[in-house]
Chain A
Amino acid sequence: MRILIKGGRVIDPANSLDGVLDILVDSGVVAKVAKNIRPNGFQVIDAADQIVIPGLVDMHVHLREPGREDKETITSGTMAALKGGVTSMAAMPNTCPCIDSPEQVVLLRKIIAQSASANVYITAAITKGRSGLALTDIEGLKEQGVIALSDDGSSVDSEELMRAALQRSKKAGIVVICHCEDKTLSRNGSVNLGIVSTRLGLKGISKESEYLRVARDIDLAQEIDAPIHITHVSCQESVTRIAEAKKKGIKVTADTAPHYFTLSQEALQGFDTNMKMNPPLRTKSDVAAIRQGLRDGTIDTIASDHAPHTENEKEIEFERAEFGVIGLETELAVGITELVHTGILGWQELVAKLTCNPARILGIAKGTLSVGADADIAVVSPDKEWVVEKHGFLSRSKNSCFLNRTLKGYVVCTICGGKIAYRH
């Protein structure tokens, strides 16, 4: 099938490309990017006034399969992804069972092959059962195609074990994604420690619980000269430490999630469990610092931390409710609304943080519209306003922190592997 995407503003940061161009897709790859390609019997997508970008690469999602198919499945999660313009994602290993052995990876790959409608990459656990007690077979996992390691949900508390993990991951050529949290400091907390935790009468999660662990992981990365990626950065102090490390040439990269550059702890007033995530929403000045970190390049990528939960797990007492929010279907629109339309990032910068940057960190050949690249493409109506509604989600779960919010920027068509995979 040949598809011609005609007359859109093509933005491809990997090639520093920004201009009104046509894209010809043939046999699953980008065949040609040029002005005025003649529609020679191709299927034509009229992209006039639209933005055409590489399909998004989301390096932090929870697809819940195997084990918690009531929250999400590979099928529903990848459909949700396509609706949000995401064509590639790295699935976190905290499923039931945990993805912590080559055998589990083989089983998961089978499920993905059967039911994924977008590209799903596998992040495996650093430690067996994410228990923080013994390392997984890192080399064996890499052989089975795992692209990153993470105990996401927990940090590896033992420095000795983390050091060993980084030594082996460096040798295997695989990046470690660090969930930075010292649980001795954050234990039982459910919102940011400060005036909001005090007003609501909830136990707080201090910023120290995050940035002290960021600092430790940076120190270990420096010592071993291994690459690490800090995920879901939420506070100013973490941004500062990552910026300093980058200045020293330490191999550290970082992502944040849309809620951390959009919402502050004030959103918790009223005990809305859809505002409960880990790390928690921080202060307004942290939101400003995250925005600045995105602007100056300290934060390389935006990832959704898509964390589906059922209504039963959210419509309960605040402290008992699960942490996490869904984000695959809103991340691009929130990025456009909060970062581009506000002038914090240019289109090139936003798109880079959603495409080629995460692809580079994960070492996957995605996130670009280079000729010959896999034809993963999103066509976006940049100014179209829409309201985030519960019934509009393709995800099995509806726990969005952006419900009822008006966003600007809408995915009208997503092409994945050269096929039209989603069309509004």
Chain B
Amino acid sequence: MAETIPWTKKDLLGLEDLQKEEIVLILDTADSFKEVSSREIKKVPALRGRTVVNLFYEPSTRTRVSFEVAAKRLSADVINIASETSSVRKGETLIDTGTNIEALKVDIIVVRHNYSGAAAMLAGHLKASVVNAGDGWHEHPTQALLDIFTLREKLGRIEGLRVSIVGDIAHSRVARSNIWGLLKLGAKVTVCAPPMLIPAAIEETGVRVTHSIDEALCDADAVNVLRMQFERDEEDAFPRQLEYFKNFGITKERLANAKKGIIVMHPGPINRGVEMSSEVADGAHSVILEQVTNGIAVRMAVLFLVAQGNENIKDANTD
């Protein structure tokens, strides 16, 4: 049993900054919240009277909805702000937007932004809690936490597991957060992609790098398959879709050579026939929909903990 420590941070910005024990605390808290979603009345009063703002500068449905559901099941009031409808279009800076939202006496701002470091910058200027819902290529901590939560639930542990992450590692915040979280919890991580999509010096983090999907699959307990964002290939780094599927796509045939109980994850939305075949996406190894369900519990845990962390900070300041 890992040693338990209290949550002391007002924000969740990434997994790189967290200690192992803090990650475990989030997962354990999520465990206790998971049951709420199976009740007839799916609500607890943990954040009653609190206000959560989802501030999304990038189009997102699943993450935004997941945070909204999580906040509502904690009885918080939720406001959604999307960049298309906000004063961002009028040239307001992120910090000004943040301080204006804070002036509405908001407790938690969940921010999704296309620039790396945006959540950290906002957090540094606000007393409200900030939860990073994805910043540029930097981190997407709640996605990695729900991936790790799902793995732990399925396999009973993280320590010693072999997890392969396949896809566009270079431009993926999901990959980065997963790498930090998994390494801290003692998993062995392999990243697999065409050379152009492996970021510089990634092996210095402690991961193994391969360009062979079969090598990535052969000893893996789980494979996390990233979405290939073909619509965003600004650097001409991507292979053609069919070529990608041929060389890196997860198929039934490839899984036949992998460990028997290998778990297949995907943060969604899936490009069927590109990252994996439909057979795999809908098959017995896939836990993709469970990830979505677990996302609620993990985000409930995160919202609950940062609210508590901020409360403790405020109490300490008034003493």
Contact = CB atoms under 8 A, between A and B. Distances in A.
A204 B135 CA distance: 17
A49 B205 CA distance: 49
Given A315-B95, A316-B94, A317-B94, A200 B204 contact: no
B205 A195 contact: yes
B230 interface: no
A194 interface: yes
Given A195-B205, A201-B137, A271 B116 contact: yes
B115 A319 contact: yes
Nearest to B57: A317
B137 A202 contact: yes
B200 interface: yes
Given A202-B136, A202-B137, A197 B200 contact: yes
Contacts of A201: 116, 135-139, 173, 176
B204 A317 contact: no
Given A195-B200, A200-B138, A318 B115 contact: yes
- Majority-rule SS of B interface residues: mixed
Given A316-B93, A318-B117, A319-B116, A199 B16 contact: yes
B121 interface: yes
A250 B139 CA distance: 48
Given A195-B205, A201-B136, A202-B137, A317 B200 contact: no
A317 B117 contact: yes
B227 interface: no
B122 to A, nearest CB: 10
Interface in B172-225: 173, 176, 199-202, 204-205
A407 interface: no
Contacts of B136: 201-202, 319
Interface residues of B, number: 24
B37 to A, nearest CB: 31
Nearest to A198: B199
Contacts of A193: 200
B138 A204 contact: no
A194 B121 contact: no
B176 A317 contact: no
Q: Tell me which of B117, B118, B176, B199 has the highest count of chain A C-beta atoms within 10 A of its own C-beta.
A: B117
B171 to A, nearest CB: 8
Interface in A262-283: 270-271
Contacts of A320: 115
B255 interface: no
Given A201-B176, A202-B136, A316-B93, A195 B116 contact: no
Nearest to B173: A201
B204 A195 contact: yes
A193 B137 CA distance: 14
Nearest to B169: A198
Contacts of A270: 120
B200 A271 contact: no
Nearest to B115: A317
A198 B202 contact: yes
Interface in A316-353: 316-320
B113 interface: yes
12 contacts: A197-B199, A201-B116, A201-B135, A202-B117, A315-B95, A315-B121, A316-B93, A316-B94, A317-B113, A318-B117, A318-B121, A319-B115
Given A201-B138, A270-B120, 16 more contacts: A194-B200, A198-B205, A199-B176, A200-B116, A200-B117, A201-B136, A202-B136, A202-B137, A202-B138, A271-B116, A271-B121, A312-B93, A315-B93, A315-B95, A316-B95, A319-B115
